[in-house]
Amino acid sequence: MATHLVWFRNDLRVNDNLALAAACRDPHARVVGIFLATPEQWQQHDMSPRQAEFIWQHLQCLHAALAARGIELHIHQLNDFADCVEYLKSFCETQKVDALFYNYQYELNERKRDAVVEKTLDVDVVCQGFDDSVLLPPGSVTTGNHEMYKVFTPFSRAFIKRLHEGLPECVAPPKARSAALPDNEKLTPFDYPRQPVDANLFPIGEQQAINQLRQFCRQPVADYGEQRDFPSVDGTSRLSAYLAIGVLSPRQCLHRLLKEHPQALDGDAGAIWLNELIWREFYRHLLVAYPKLCRHQPFIPWTDNVSWQQDEQQFIAWQQGQTGYPIVDAAMRQLNTTGWMHNRLRMVVASFLVKDLLIDWRQGERYFMSQLIDGDLAANNGGWQWAASTGTDAAPYFRIFNPTTQGERFDKKGEFIRQWLPELGIVPDQYIHTPWIWAEKQQLTLDYPHPIVEHKQARIATLAAYEVARKPEEKEHEK
């Protein structure tokens, strides 16, 4: 009897799991699952304690779901990716594994690891990988010259055209292969810092994630375009945490969206949220086309010439939500408290760090990863490089968000700000974005800092720094 091994990574689900479905296709094969925790590698990649807890909780759910289908799940801790190779080889020998099934990860270190695993197992174990965490495989949506798109809009058009030609199908969860296995085994947690997850924001369990997807696609997705920019409104899906560790697949999201809003591909209701799914694809495709993005390098080479400020005190003030700009500080405190931040605010705080404080975007990128429950290298790197004007399809370097104006526009009465900055509770609505002005007029002392930089002056300094960085490139073009 053949033995099929499913190597679970960022795909902690039984529904629409391409590797799991393929492993279970032969009804006579014995199917075994394995998850390899690699705390040292996670530390290098700045995985947040909340995401570690989210993974741990969903590993337990996956263990139970597989056990109900007669499939064992082995969980083992190793140091890093290098240790995975020899352990898998030994495990395959011990379990007499004939075939290994896994879903691709697109980050550079992960791709190198998988290549070594395939080479090491060689002819003894047939390895089969699947493009599971994307709607369309990287490299399948290209320009007329067969190159990766560098601008999102034409990529999106080509992507939707491909979807019109044929939708990627969801696969059913595997049927029970034998009697259910006892699910009373106490699993040993991996040795990595973990932090509690707010179950009201992120309910634990695959079915809970599916329920949240269904609920969002019924009505909120139709209002998404109008409500997504206002942080005091519950107008976003909050599904990114489930997508990041694979409790949901992007195919499930697409099919549920089209079930509720069949014309979303044609620009009708739901199209704006579909666009967010395509942004997710764009950044994943870019990682494969340009591996340097995994190496902390900017997409636009000249931007590496920017002379960043090394101001540790200002960086800490930004981290802790003590910059004196209420919308920035409220957003950072939301991140630090929940492990999640509203998408509009991710752009605002990133712009503030890079364009107001002139601090290297890589410091912000890394801090986000250390806090986010939905930490994902492709999306996080893409977002930070967009904000820093260093990436593909990025905001031009002279586009600099005014943090006060952003607050006035998207949290006019300060409802979101008051939620996270209780020390501003007595400040009237008209001064909630400039509380220092009100405090001076009232001759009061607020338990809240004055702005750590003056935006207009900071903008001038940033523009000058980017202009100086561009000059070597301009001279090169003149030759």
Find the farthest-apart pair of alpha carbons in the chain and give their distance in angstroms, rounded: 82
Q: Rounded CA gap, 365 and 46, in Å? A: 10
**Partners of residue 126 on adjacent β-strands:** 99
CB 238 within 8 A of CB 231: no
**Using alpha carbons only, how large is the chain's radius of gyration in Å?**
24
Query: Is 308 considered catalytic here?
Result: yes
Query: Is 384 considered catalytic here?
Result: yes
Out of 308, 415, 436, 438, the active site residue is 308
Tokens of 154: 């034409």
Out of 7, 42, 384, 420, the active site residue is 384
The string over 438-473, giving b where at least 16 C-beta atoms fall within 10 Å of a residue's C-beta and e elsewhere, is: bbeeeeeebebeebbbebeebbebbeebbeebbeee
Q: Rounded CA gap, 188 and 210, in Å? A: 27
> Phi-psi bin for 16: left (phi > 0), alpha (psi -120 to 50), beta?
left
Query: Is 279 considered catalytic here?
Result: yes
Query: Is 40 considered catalytic here?
Result: no
Q: Number of helices (H) and strands (E), helices first, in the chain?
A: 20, 5
Out of 273, 361, 386, 420, the active site residue is 361
Strand order in the sheet with 30-37: 72-77, 30-37, 3-8, 99-103, 126-130
CB 162 within 8 A of CB 288: no
Query: Is 340 considered catalytic here?
Result: no
Out of 279, 318, 386, 420, the active site residue is 279
Give, rounded to a whole angstrom, the gap between the first and last alpha carbons of the chain: 68
Axis-axis angle for helices 81-95, 108-121 (nearest 10): 30
Out of 118, 260, 276, 415, the active site residue is 276
Phi then psi dihedrals of residue 36, to 5 deg: -110, 110
Query: In which element (H, E) is residue 91 found?
Result: helix 81-95
Closest CA to 391 of 152, 157, 159: 152
CA-to-CA separations, 6 to 73, 434, 455, in angstroms, rounded? 9, 55, 53
Query: In which element (H, E) is residue 77 found?
Result: strand 72-77
Tokens of 195: 């932090």
Q: What is the secondary structure of 93-121 as a DSSP string? A: HHHT--EEEEE---SHHHHHHHHHHHHHH
Which sequence positions are flagged as catalytic?
A: 276, 279, 308, 343, 361, 384
